[in-house]
Amino acid sequence: MSKLLEVKDLKVSFNTYNGEVHAVRGVTFDLNKGETLAIVGESGSGKSVTSNAIMRLLPEPHGFIKEGQILLEGVDLAKKSMKEMQKIRGKDISMVFQDPMSSLNPTMKIGNQIMEGLMKHQNMSKTEARKTALELLTLVGIPRPDVRINQYPHQFSGGMRQRVVVAIALACNPKILIADEPTTALDVTIQAQILELMKSIQQKTDSAIIFITHDLGVVANVADRVAVMYAGKIVEIGTVDDIFYNPKHPYTWGLIGSMPTLDSNDEELFAIPGSPPNMLTPPVGDAFAARNQFALEIDTVMEPPMFKVSDTHYAATWLLHPDAPKIEPPDAVKHRMQGFAQTGTKGGGKR
C-alpha cells in the first residue's frame, strides 16, 4: 500500500488570554490509500484539532501549526497559502462534521450546497453539477432525490441531513475523507446506517478515511487501524486487532475497560480516574502518569518514546521498556478482550 498522507511531528497551539495552549504536541502517523484510520481519545485529546490542522481549518491566526509537516502525496499542506488550500479542500480532502443539524446552510437548497463544490473544483456547468448531485443523493440513499434536491435542510431529519453532508463531502471524489465524530449527534439506529453508508461508499470510491471518534464500539466496526490520542499525542497506534486484542498502553486499557457491554451487569464499569491535564502547561514526563495506576517513577521525569510492539503496532509507555516490570492489563479489561475474541471485533462493536 502506498502512503497517501504522512503527518510528521505535527504541533498545533492556540494563543489564548491565559497563554499558549498546546493542543497537539507532536503527532506522527501515515494514512494509506483506501484504508480507514480511526483516531480515538476523550474530549480535549487533540483529535479534532489534528483533523482541522490537516484541513487547515484552524481559526488562524490564534490557532496555528507550530511545527511539523502534513504531506499529501509528498506536498506539504502546512506550507500552503489559504488560496491554495481552497483548491485542495473539498477536492483532495473533505470533511464530514459532527452535528448535521447545524452544518448545513439553512437558507440554501441542499442541491445548491452539493453543487457548489462540483462547480468550483470540477468546472462543471450547472446542469452537469445538478446531474451529479442527483447521483450523489441516490448514492447516499436519499429517496426521491429529484424532489429532495430542491428542498432546504430544515425539511430533512438528522440522519438524512448527515447523508447530505456525506454527499457534499464525497462530491469531488476526495482522496481523503475526514469524518469528525460523524455519528455522535445521531441516535443509535441512524448511527449504524451512516457507518454502513460510509463503509459501502469507501468500497465504491476507494478513498481513505480518517475517522475521529471517542466511541471504541464504532472503531471496531469501521477501522483498519487505530490511533489512540491522549493529551495531544498518539500514545498507541496499531491495527484494530493490535488495539483490541493486544493493547499495551494503560490508557488504551482504560478506554477498553470503560466500554459498556450488554452482559456487563455483573462486572464493574471501569472508569479512568481524574481528568485530562491542562494543556496550557502540559505535565513533564508521561502526560497520563497522574491517572495511571501502573505509573513508574520514570513517567514523571521523562516522556516515553514510541516502543515497537510489532511492525504495525507501536505504543508510548515505559511499561514496554525491557527493564520495566511485567504488568498485565486489569481483569476487567482482559474480560473485555476475551469478549472481543468470542464475537470477533469485525463482527460488530460490542456496545
Partner 1 sequence: MTRYILRRVWYMLLTLFIIATASFFLMKILPGSPLNAEDKLSEEQKEIILEKYGLNDPVPVQYAKYLGGLVQGDLGVSFKFDNTPVTQILVDRIGPSALLGFQALIVGSILGIFLGLMASIFRNSPIDFSSTIIAVIGTSIPSFVFAGLLQYVFAVKLGWFPVALWGTFEHTILPTIALAIHPLATAARFTRTEMVEVLHSNYIITARAKGVAESGIILKHGLRNALIPLITVLGPMAVGLMTGSMVIEQIFAIPGIGEQFVTSVMVNDYPTIMGTTLLFAFGFILIILIIDLLYGLIDPRIRLAGGSK
User: Which residues form the interface with partner 1 (CB under 8 A)?
Assistant: 55, 57, 82, 85-91, 94-95, 97, 99, 102-108, 116-117, 120-121, 152, 154-155, 165, 168-169, 171
CB of 182 to partner 1, least distance (A): 12
Nearest to 8 by CA among 23, 25, 22, 26: 26
Q: Closest distance between partner 1 and the C-beta of residue 7, in Å?
A: 18
Q: Which residues contact 91 (CB under 8 A, 6 or more apart)?
A: 117, 121, 172, 174
Choice between 170 and 256, CB closer to partner 1: 170
**Would you say 39 or 55 has its CB closer to partner 1?**
55
Is the bond leading into 61 cis (omega within 30 degrees of zero)?
A: yes
Query: What are 6's three cell numbers?
Result: 504522512
CB of residue 107 vs partner 1: minimum separation in angstroms? 5
Distance of CA 199 to the CA centre of its chain: 15
Three-state DSSP class for 1?
A: coil
Nearest approach in angstroms of CB 25 to partner 1 is: 24
d(CA 281, CA 151): 48
- Compute the distance between CA of residue 52 and CA of residue 346 in angstroms, rounded to an integer: 29
What minimum distance in Å lies between the beta carbon of 53 and partner 1?
13
Question: Going edge to edge, which strands form the sheet with 233-239?
Answer: 93-96, 176-180, 208-213, 36-40, 225-230, 233-239, 314-315, 307-308
CB of 196 to partner 1, least distance (A): 23
Q: Tell me how far, at minimum, the Cβ of 145 lies from partner 1, in Å.
A: 17
Amino acid (1-letter code) at residue 264: S
* Cβ-based nearer residue to partner 1, 120 or 334: 120
Q: What angle do CA 321, 324, 327 make, to 5 degrees?
A: 110
Smallest distance from the beta carbon of 111 to partner 1, in angstroms? 13
Give the DSSP letter string of 24-72: EEEEEEEEETT-EEEEE--TTSSHHHHHHHHHT-S-TTTEEEEEEEEEE
Instruction: Quickly count helices (H) and strands (E) in the chain.
Output: 11, 12
* Other residues' Cβ atoms within 10 Å of the Cβ of residue 35: 17
**CB neighbour list of residue 103: distance below 8 Å, 6 or more residues apart:** 97, 161, 165
